[in-house]
Structure 1
């Protein structure tokens, strides 16, 4: 069985460029595209957070 796999990301230039519903609108459009072509639509949600670095300096006196 041949598979056609895509890797899609939503990448933003500025911090304030993201808007609510971007992800859901993207998924809806991709799902519709697949329905029109009669191909299965499967996805995996992967989220990563950015954490501030740990403070490694000693504060003892």
Structure 2
């Protein structure tokens, strides 16, 4: 028990809490940046046209 009380002094607990908060903020910031990859969205008409004429090469479409 003495080891646990020595380890969990006020500075250590505060350092752990700050580390958890900073780490969580960094994780969420990086996950938002990675998740925002722009994707090319085609209109429904263009997508349907490409599906209908999928057997043709790009030049003939």
TM normalised by structure 1 equals: 0.33
Give the structure with the larger helix fraction.
2
